[in-house]
């Protein structure tokens, strides 16, 4: 199993709206992709920002590619991300789950 992690940051006042937005876009798309074994968001206040993690679990790297495309290390963004995010990682990390 592969775990995929991405991080982004919003202003604290945008955190609730961004959580709702990402639940309705990225998390829905993760879960609809064959080979996905679960997808979650987590957040925490981090100084003047709120940090978000998206964490998803996949059967294989091929399953990740079905969601993310051939370059699975490239982050996937959605149309309104620029509205909410003040900073973001443009790459993601993948881990083997034992």
pLDDT of residue 83: 96
Q: Which residues contact 88 (CB under 8 A, 6 or more apart)?
A: 7, 8, 9, 75, 77, 81
Task: Answer yes or no: pTM beyond 0.75.
Answer: yes
CA distance 27 to 20: 10
Alpha helices in the chain (DSSP H): 15-24, 26-32, 61-68, 81-84
pLDDT at 15: 97
Residue 66 sits in a domain of what CATH number? 3.30.70.100
Q: Which residues constitute the domain of residue 72?
A: 2-96
Number of structural domains, the chain?
A: 1
Q: Which of the four pLDDT bands, split at 50, 70 and 90, describes residue 53?
A: very high
pLDDT at 88: 97
Alpha-carbon dihedral sign for residues 87, 83, 92, 49: positive
Position 9 confidence tier, pLDDT thresholds 50, 70, 90: very high
């Amino acid at each position: 199993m592969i775990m995929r992690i991405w991080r982004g940051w919003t202003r604290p006042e945008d955190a609730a709206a961004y959580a709702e937005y990402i639940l309705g876009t990225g998390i829905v798309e993760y879960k609809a992709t064959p080979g996905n074994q679960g997808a979650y968001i987590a957040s925490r206040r981090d100084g003047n920002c709120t940090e978000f993690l998206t964490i998803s679990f996949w059967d294989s790297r091929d399953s990740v590619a079905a969601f993310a495309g051939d370059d699975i290390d490239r982050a996937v963004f959605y149309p309104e991300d620029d509205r909410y995010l003040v900073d973001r990682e443009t790459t993601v990390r993948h881990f083997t789950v034992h």
